[in-house]
Amino acid sequence: MPLQIFLNATLRPYVSGYDPYNGFSLEVPAGTTVAQVIARLGLPGPEVTLIMVDGRQQEADFVLQGKERLGLFPPIGGG
């Protein structure tokens, strides 16, 4: 199942040639968890503090069904 993945801020350098405007597609089997995708991409798990699947916040153990849009965010601060 192809996922459309979008990385934000400090997570982008972990994927060589990442296009911040279009993200990238990744083929994974149905039943894959977000945590497994994070590990497969070589992202440091503790650096991913916000996970969005199709615009809804999820946890790392969320099971992907197919063709979702996955957004991964590092810690975000503001003032």
Query: Does 2-73 carry CATH code 3.40.50.1970?
Result: no
pTM of the shown model: 0.91
In which band, very low, low, confident or very high, does the pLDDT at 66 lie, cut at 50, 70 and 90? Answer: confident
In which band, very low, low, confident or very high, does the pLDDT at 79 lie, cut at 50, 70 and 90? Answer: low
Encode pLDDT of 8-44 as tens digits. Answer: 999 999 999 999 999 999 999 999 999 999 999 999 9
Cβ pair 67, 5 in contact under 8 A: no
